[in-house]
Structure formats: structure tokens, C-alpha cells
A and B are shown apart, each in its own frame.
Chain A
Amino acid sequence: MATNEATTSIKKLQVRRFKPDENPEKHYLNEETGIWAWMTTVDHKKIGLMYLASITVFFFIGGMLALLLRTELLSPARSFMDADVYNQVFTLHGAIMIFFFLIPSVPAALGNFVLPLQLGAKDVAFPRLNLASYYIYVIGALFTIFAIFTGGVDTGWTFYTPYSATTSGNVMAMTFGVFVLGFSSILTGLNFIVTIHKLRAPGLTWNKLPLNLWGLYATSLIQVLATPVLAITLLLLTMERLLGIGIFDPNLGGDPVLYQHFFWFYSHPAVYIMIVPGFGIISEVISTFSRKVIFGYWAIALSSLAIAFIGFLVWGHHMFTAGQSSLANMVFSFLTFLVGIPTGIKIFNWLATMYKGSIDLKTPMLYALVFLFLFTIGGFTGIMLGALSVDIHLHDTYYVVAHFHYVMMGGMVMAFLAGLHYWWPKMFGKMYNEFWARISCGLIFVGFNMTFLPQFVMGAQGMPRRYFNYIDQFQPFHQFSTMGAYVMGIGFFIMAGYLFHSLRKGERSGSNPWGSRALEWQTSSPVPLHNFEHTPVIINGPYDYHKPMSEFQLGIATSHNGHDHHAGDNTDISKTEKEQA
């Protein structure tokens, strides 16, 4: 703990232990109920749950679209939808999954819920702004739904010009929706950065910050810095379509490759907006379920920041065949390999954390291990695509499709599911059925690999992506892949079933069912309206499993901030006085 003797006198804090209430009568879910209270709430937990409900809806829509695509691809040519419908469906699948599910999934939904809890704060720094972010997200989503029902969009989620400037369909409404959505992302990022800087509990220094927060911090930086570029790009696209100003359209004197540079300057960092917070969750889960100090705390924390930084410099690897110069290709290829190193370091650190741990294979841990396996494959195939000569062959084939599904779904979605199952008892104070959760995890794992492993082979053999029709030699792979998608679909329906059952009739979980040392588990479940009944005081790191639980439940002993809590009741008062800088 850093002391700063030169400037201020050392303030002594009287601390004592606060044991969380195992069976709280009042909590955030039953105080302030009713639809109006929810819609106008500034409580980060409720806003997190509203995001969670929204992204679940979008995940369901995106997932059903994926199943439709896979069903159509059972045979070449038309089986039940036309080419233009197919093109709209894959566009929507991509756009919905990326902009409306993946980007908000961990930061906005889980992050909102857990970030102030992990900081020991009552809320985020700007609670009203937080609510505004949610409504901006909803408005963006409404525009997108409007676009779907007024002509649809068939450009692919990348909106490449000049195609997107010439096609019929409501590209304007869709891009406007994504444009609006970007502001939600920016404001959330800003809110998180300020909250992490200003609202840490006494004693929570940067070297005790949970790795989940390092992940969210790196993510927020990317959100704030990269998203405006997307907004500018979409604005330019709109100006071109509506006002005929030539920016990207060669007929008007523009350059279509310029659009790709703009687009990927945002969208590549966006990949890290999606995956870096996942790294944070995995660190929490692996440490908790191994009951062991995380290996290489600083390596994991700083590699997140390194990825966030280098991630800004590799956008050109999406354009190796797009006609940029050979020199640019060389530089982008080199930097792409550099970004692989911090990612690899994380994998090894997580493995080393498991070494000599006390490993409990509960559902969140199962998802974390599934993440390790699938994300590693995603990473290795990323190396393949970073190699210039090989990428020329594999670019825009199913190999790329399989690669980013291994990263985005095998990585991010598995991390999200690990986090969802990990914090579920904290959110609702209830457990889900462990047996069915494991079955579902197994089905998703098997189904996922069945779906996407054949796509690597297909892609390497030359099957291009975004193909409605295909040559006969690829049919067995497509059919196997579709079967996998159905298995995965069943897995997700089982999950919906047991989670719904848990909400209705789940067993009470207690405040800390996993025996975690992390701060969010040192308050009751469900969480009190203002998170903690006391001001938490932190003296240990969040993964110090070698120290007794009592040292993790400290709080300022005297009453404070107008919170009349029950000072002097029968909890044992810590005798130690802790120094605070």
C-alpha cells in the first residue's frame, strides 16, 4: 500500500468486519418495484439487467437467423429462401450479433452490473448518463428493426461501398441505427473510465483492481477512442447516399477502398471491444474456481492494455487483397503477429493459475475451459490468416468465417456465458440446475465444433463466404455444419429452460456460493439497493486465497454518508487499525 507522507497526514480508519446477510429481506429487486421504477431507474444493477434482457432478445433473433441460414445451406441453390432473402438474412445475422449482442454483451450488461460492485461503489460515476446510454441503445435498435421491415438490408454487416451506396433496401435506417448505437457505446465507456478512476473503495489501489476491471478499463478506452470513427464513417456514407457528395463512390470521384480503411479502423478495435472484457471474466472465473492467486497479475492486466493499443494499428489485415500497397500489407501483417503475443501470454497465465489449484468444475469454470480451448483455436487460425501468402488464398472464404466464429463465439460468447453463470446467483440470489447447465454446456461445445470445424476445411478448399449457392463438392461439409448448428440450438434452448426455472423456483444461493474472495461476493445476494450497507475497505488483492475470508469483509466502522446502518450490533469488530494514504 502506497503511503504519501510528504503531503497529507496519515488518516486512520477504524474498520470492522461486515458479514454479508445470507438471507436479505430487502434488496435491489424488491425495493422500488413496478414497471415505471425500472424504466426510470438509475441503479446500475437494474440497467445491467435491462441490457441483459435486451441482448438476450437480440441473441435469440440473431441465433434464429443463423439457423435459417444453415438450413438453407443444406443444399446448393434454393431450398426455401431466395437469394435476396438469404443475403438480407446473413446481413442481419452479422449486424445484430455484432452491434446489438456482442458489443454490449459484456461491457454494458455484465459490466454494468458488476463494475460498481467490484469497486465497492454505490453506482457508476454518472448514473443518469448510464440510463441514457441504455435508451440510446434502444433507439438504435428500433431504427434497425424499422430498416428490416422497410426494405431490408443486403450489404453484409460491413456495408462496403460502392455496393451499399447503390443497393435498394433501407441502408440509411440501418446505418443510422448503428450510428445512434455507437453513442451508447461511447457513453458507457466514458462512464466506466471515470468510475474506475474516481469511485474505488478505500484501499482499492490499481494493483488490487480485479482483472475484470482491467479488461473493462481497456475496453472502455477503445470504445471512447474508436467508436467516433464509425460514426464519422456512417455519416459520410449517409452524406454520399442522400446528398450525392462523392467520398466513396468512384462514379462521384470517391474511393471505395477509403471506406474500408475507415470501417476497419473502427471495426478491428471493435473486435477487441468484444473480446477483451471476456478476458477479464475468464481471469475472475479461473481464479475463483481454482481457489488460487492469479498467475501473472500484471502480465494479464498490461496485456489487455497492450492488446487495446496494438489493436488500433492492425486494421489493414482485413484488406490484404483489397488493393492496398505491398508495403502497407507487410507492416499490417507484422503488427498483427505482435498482437498475438499478449493474447498467447494470457492463455499460459490462466493455465499456470490452474496449476496446483483446487479446481471445482462448476458450470462457469466449464465455460472458462471451453473458452480456453476454442479461443486457442481461434488464435492459431488468426496466425494463419495473418501470414500474407496464406491469407491471399484464405481471404473471404469460409476459413475466415470459421476463424471469427471461434474468436467471437468460441471466445466471447463462452466468456459471456461463464460470466452469466458466475454472477447469476449474485444477480438473483438463486441457483440454476447444475446438472442441466453442464448438459447444455456440453451440447453447445460439441455443436459449436461440429458447426465450425468443417468450415475451416471448406474454406481452405476454396468455398467463398456469403454464398447462397455453392458447388456440389462442399455439400457434405455444409450438411455436417448445419447438424452442428441444430445441436448448438438445442443446447441454448435447454439453457433458456433452466435459467427461466431458476428465476421462478431456483434454490437460494447464499451470498457467496463459490467461496470467492472478490469484493462483489462480500455483500448479500441479491445485492442491496446501494450495493453495500457499509463502505468497504480493501487490504488484500481480489485473488488472495491464502488469506482468511474475514480480511475481505472489512468496512469503515463508523456510520457515514447518511447511511444509518447498524453500528455496534453483534458482528465482531476488527481490532486492527488500518492506515490509509
Chain B
Amino acid sequence: MNRFSEFMLPPQKSTIAEGTDALFHFINITSVILLIGITIAIVYFSWKYRRRSDNDVTPVITHNSALEITWSVIPLILVMIVFGWGLNGYVNLSTAPDDAYEIRVVGKSWLWEFHYETGFVSVNELHVPADRPVKLVMSSDDVIHSFYIPDFRIKNDVLPNRYSTVWFEAMEPGESVIFCTEYCGMAHSNMMATTFVHTQEDFETWLITAGSADDNMDPVELGEQLVTRNACTTCHSSDGTVLQGPSYQGLFGSERVLESGETVIADENYIRESILEPNAKIVEGYQPVMPSYAGSLNDRQIDAIIEYIKTLE
């Protein structure tokens, strides 16, 4: 049973996972028993009652009330059990405890932003404490996304015009993958993030130091880290490969031909504008799909990214 569970489902890393899995297994086992019964009946009847001659006479059996009521009522009872069980689990899933630790989540094509109480924003990295309920208040900046952590058995769509929530309580420190499960365009399948579960003390320490960790780094090194951390590399390569957006290689100082037909030089101001107001100038051949980083990156970070791009000739 455990090995079957390990094969079929991701590890149970939240408190509610076990309940969901129990119902999953109950339905699977009941279904397999019934399916085996039906299959045996198909095969056995096909063999036992195979046609022996063209003049075979078959009995007239038009109906059998007792039998029909049995095979209607038993499945009805079974599905009502499943309904109640599923509803019960769902009520737990959708009711966050009052003392839950709150984190704001913003989905953008194609990255996840996590805003913490200190004002710190992490991209594609969700840091949470273990053994404490965490509630995510989520919204989207553009199209519909869906926030899914398989290890925690939670999922909810992330909408542009309202807030939606999920909550979970991670059981032990570790890492879990986050997927976007509502199709959102070209790089939908790259809209992945990681949950880092820390012990409560480690989480407190992380939260305090997170904002200041970059202070002593030199700009180029910091810039290189920032483009990865902020998911810029989902769409922009540093080696000339064309992804959803233009590559950083050879970008700085080059002439850019825009959709409007104008040409501009990619200088500091151009790059800064492209980060804060990405759709102001669209390079020919690309789509206006990049989300704005205004509010997520400060001046020093933008400077660092520009310095980094300058080094990629």
C-alpha cells in the first residue's frame, strides 16, 4: 500500500495531504474491485455464452427489478460516501485557521511574486515556516494562472480581478515545486517556483536578512543573481538564444528596431524603461507580454541588472 502510494502520489508534505490521499485510495480500490468484476463478467460471458450455432435460442429476460434496484442503490450509496468525504476534505482545504501567517502572491506571465510582511518581495521562491498554517492571498496581474503545490495537495486559480486564497501547514523543512496549472501562454510550462520550508527560527532569520543580503555584492554579480531570481531568464537568455524575449547578449549599445518601425539605441534609459514599463517599446518580432517590475525592483537592483547586461557582449 505504501509503495503504491509512493508510486501514484507525490510525498505528503502538508497536514491535509493525508486526508486527500485516503479518499484517493478509497476510490481507487473500490473502482479496481468493481472494474475487475465487470471485466471478469465480460470475459466470462464472452466465452461461456459464445455462439455455438446460427440457430442458438436465447432466453427472454427483459428486466429484473430486484437486481436493477440493487445495482442502482449500491453505487448510489458509494458515491454519496465519496461526496461526503470529498466535501469534508474540501471544507478543511478552504477554511484557513485564524492564526495563519499571511503572504501575498502575485501571478504574472510568467513568474510568481511573493510579498512578505516586511515588504520584501521574492520571485519564484516561496519561503515559509514549518508547523505553522500559512495563508496565501493571491491575485494575477494579467491572465488567469493557477497556483499548485502537488506536495501539499493545494491548488487555486489566480484571477486578475479578485483575490483567491489557499492555505497549508507544511510538516517539515524541505523544498517543494510550485506549478502554474491554468494555461497562460507561451511560457506557461516554465512558470514554476519552489517552496522553501524552514524551521520557524530559520524562517524568522531569513525574513530579517533577506532584504539586506545583497548589500555587499558587486553590481555585476548582483545583476547576474537578480535576473535568475526574478525569473528574467525564463524569457531572456544570456547566450544569444531567442526565447519569448530578446537575448541579453550583445544587447547593450545595439540598435533596436521596434514594432512601430522606429529604431532606438539600447542604452541605460532604454533598459530601465523596459524593466519598469515593458510594453512602452516592443522590439520587432516579439509580443507585448512582459509584466512590469515597478515596485519589485529598486533603483540599486535595476542598476545592477544594467551593469550585468553590459558585460554580455
Q: B142 to chain A: which residues have CB within 8 Å?
A: 162, 166
Which residue of the partner chain B has the closest CB to A396?
B181
Contact between B51 and A334, CB atoms less than 8 A apart: no
Question: Quick one: CB contact mask for A155-187 with B, threshold 8 Å, 1 for yes?
Answer: 110001011001110000000000000000000
Q: In the complex, what residues of B have CB within 8 A of residue A455's CB?
A: none
Most buried by B among A295, A337, A360, A461: A337
Q: Please tell me if A256 contacts chain B, counting CB pairs below 8 Å.
A: yes
Q: Mark A251-280, 1 if CB is under 8 A from B, else 0.
A: 100011100000000000000000000000
Task: Let me know if A105 is at the binding interface, CB within 8 A.
Answer: no
A358 engages B56 (CB within 8 Å): yes
In the complex formed, the residue of B with least CB distance to A388 is: B90
Known: A337-B80, A387-B83. A291 touches B56 (CB 8 A): yes
A390 and B34: CB pair below 8 A? Answer: no
The yes or no answer to A244 lying at the interface (CB within 8 A) is no
Q: Are A358 and B49 in contact (CB under 8 A)?
A: yes
Q: Are B144 and A464 closer than 8 Å at their CB atoms?
A: no
Are B51's CB and A323's CB within 8 A? no
Cβ of B153 under 8 Å from chain A: yes
User: Is B185 within 8 A of A167, CB to CB?
Assistant: yes
Contact count A vs B, C-beta below 8 Å: 264
- Cα A396 to Cα B148 in complex, Å, equals 10
Asked if residues A466 and B148 are in contact (CB atoms below 8 Å), the reply is: no
The listed residue (B27, B49, B63, B187) touching A295 by CB distance below 8 A is: B63
CB atoms of A361 and B46 under 8 A apart: yes
Q: Which residues of B contact A154 (CB under 8 A)?
A: 185-186
Across the interface, do B146 and A396 meet the contact criterion of CB distance under 8 Å?
yes
Q: Tell me the complex Cα distance, A341–B38, Å.
A: 16
| Residues of chain B with a CB closer than 8 A to A525's CB | none
What are the residues of chain A within 8 A of B291 when measuring CB–CB?
Answer: none
A389→B90 contact, CB < 8 A: yes
Q: Is B24 an interface residue (CB 8 A)?
A: yes
- Enumerate B166-195 residues with CB–CB distance to A below 8 Å: 177, 179-190, 192
Interface string of A323-355 (1 = CB under 8 A from B): 100100110011001101100110110011011
Query: In the assembled complex, how far is the CB of residue A72 from the closest CB belonging to chain B, in whole angstroms?
Result: 12
**Which residues in B have their C-beta under 8 angstroms from that of A464?**
148, 179-181, 189
Q: Identify the closest chain B residue to A83 (Cβ).
A: B186
Write the chain B residue with the least CB distance to A546. Answer: B60
Asked if A321 meets B49 with Cβ closer than 8 Å, knowing A329-B90, A337-B82, A546-B57, the reply is no
Q: Does A392 contact B (CB under 8 A)?
A: yes
- Tell me which of B58, B88, B164 has the highest count of chain A C-beta atoms within 10 A of its own C-beta: B58
A380 within 8 Å of B (CB atoms):
yes
Q: Give A224 to B152 CA distance when docked, in angstroms.
A: 43
Residue of B nearest to A345 (CB): B72
Given A323-B162, A461-B8; A386-B86 close (CB under 8 Å):
yes
Q: Separation in Å of the A224 CB from the closest CB of chain B?
A: 29
Q: Tell yes or no: B250 within 8 A of A by CB.
A: no
Contact between A462 and B148 (Cβ–Cβ < 8 Å)?
yes
A459 and B38 alpha carbons, distance in the complex (Å): 25
Which residue from chain A places its CB closest to the CB of B59 in the assembled complex? Answer: A356
Q: B254 at the A/B interface (Cβ < 8 Å)?
A: no
Contact A376 B49 (CB under 8 A): no
Are the C-beta atoms of A380 and B157 separated by less than 8 Å? no
At the interface, yes or no: A397 with Cβ under 8 Å from chain B? yes
In the complex, the answer to whether B42 meets A392 with C-beta atoms within 8 Å is no
Q: Is A420 an interface residue (CB 8 A)?
A: no
B62 interface residue (CB < 8 Å to A): yes
> Which single residue of chain B is at the shortest CB-CB distance from A471?
B177
Residue B103 interfacial (CB < 8 Å):
no
**Residues of chain A with a CB closer than 8 A to B64's CB:** 295, 352
A388-B86, A396-B181 known; A162-B143 Cβ under 8 A = yes
Interface string of A345-381 (1 = CB under 8 A from B): 1011001101111111100000001001100110011
Contacts of A355 in B (CB 8 A): 45, 49, 61
Q: Cβ of A323 and Cβ of B164 under 8 Å apart? A: yes
B52 at the interface (CB under 8 A from A): yes
Q: Taking CB as reference atom, which chain B residue is nearest A358?
A: B56
Whether, in the assembled complex, A383 has its beta carbon less than 8 Å from a beta carbon of chain B, the answer is yes
Chain B nearest Cβ from A293, distance in angstroms: 5
Q: Give the size of the chain A interface in residues (CB under 8 angstroms).
A: 87
B23: chain A residues within 8 A (beta carbon): 387, 389-390
A390 to B199, CA, bound (A): 28
Q: Within residues 78 to 115 of chain B, which ones have a CB less than 8 A from any CB in chain A?
A: 79-80, 82-83, 85-94
A358: chain B residues at CB < 8 Å are 49-52, 56-58
Q: Within 8 Å CB of B50, what residues of A?
A: 358-361
Give chain B interface residues in 110-163, CB to chain A under 8 Å.
Answer: 142-144, 146, 148, 150-151, 153-157, 159-162
> Are A354 and B27 in contact, with the CB atoms below 8 A?
no
Question: With A and B bound together, what is the CA distance between A295 and B65 in angstroms?
Answer: 11
Query: How many Å lie between the Cα of A291 and that of B49 in the bound state?
Result: 11
CB-based contact B27/A461 at 8 Å? no
- Between B46, B93, B184, the greatest number of chain A beta carbons within 10 A of the residue's beta carbon is seen for B46
Which B residue sits closest to A464, measured CB to CB?
B181
CB of A393 within 8 A of CB of B150, answer yes
CB distance from A564 to the nearest CB of B (A): 36
Contacts of A361 in B (CB 8 A): 46, 50
Do B156 and A323 touch across chains, with their CB atoms under 8 A apart? yes
Evaluate whether A296 and B56 lie within 8 angstroms (CB atoms) in the complex, with A340-B75, A387-B85 already known.
Answer: no
Shortest CB–CB separation between residue B234 and chain A, in angstroms? Answer: 10
A322 at the interface (CB under 8 A from B): yes
User: Which chain A positions have C-beta within 8 A of B61?
Assistant: 292-293, 295, 352, 355-356
Min CB gap B278→A, angstroms: 14
A156 engages B183 (CB within 8 Å): yes
Please pick, from B41, B87, B181, B185, the residue contacting A465 in the complex, using a CB distance under 8 A. B181
- Complex: A470 Cα to B192 Cα, angstroms: 10
Q: Is the CB of B62 within 8 A of A297?
A: yes
What CA separation (Å) do A293 and B189 show in the bound complex? 52
Instruction: Indicate if the CB atoms of A380 and B27 lie closer than 8 Å.
Output: yes
> Is B67 interfacial (CB-CB < 8 Å)?
yes
CA gap between A466 and B179 in the complex, in Å = 12
* Across-interface contacts of B45 in A (CB, < 8 A): 351, 354-355, 357, 359
Residue of A nearest to B187 (CB): A83
Query: Which of B27, B56, B150 is within 8 Å of A390, CB to CB?
Result: B27
Q: Are B87 and A256 in contact (CB under 8 A)?
A: no
Closest chain A CB from B170 CB (angstroms): 16
Q: Is the CB of B79 within 8 A of A296?
A: no
Residues from chain A with Cβ under 8 Å of B38 in the complex: 347, 351, 372-373, 376
How distant is the Cα of A256 from the Cα of B244 in the complex, in angstroms?
25
* Structural contact, B9 and A333, CB atoms closer than 8 A: no
Contacts of B162 in A (CB 8 A): 323
Within 8 A of A (CB), among B1-28: 7-10, 16, 19-20, 23-24, 27-28
Question: What 1/0 mask marks residues of chain A from 293 to 331 whose CB sits below 8 Å from any chain B CB?
Answer: 101111100000000000000000000011100100110
Interchain CA distance A250-B91 in the complex, whole Å: 29
A380 B90 Cβ-Cβ under 8 A: no
Please pick, from B34, B42, B54, B83, the residue contacting A333 in the complex, using a CB distance under 8 A. B83
Other A-B contacts than A296-B68, A337-B83, 12 sampled, CB-CB below 8 A, are A87-B185, A162-B143, A166-B142, A291-B51, A341-B76, A359-B49, A386-B79, A389-B92, A390-B24, A393-B153, A396-B182, A457-B8
Q: Sort A-B residue pairs by CB-CB distance and give the 8 closest, nearest first.
A: A389-B89, A462-B150, A387-B86, A358-B56, A250-B161, A388-B90, A380-B31, A467-B189
User: Can you give 8 contacting A-B residue pairs, CB < 8 Å?
Assistant: A160-B183, A162-B160, A293-B60, A321-B155, A387-B86, A462-B177, A468-B189, A471-B177
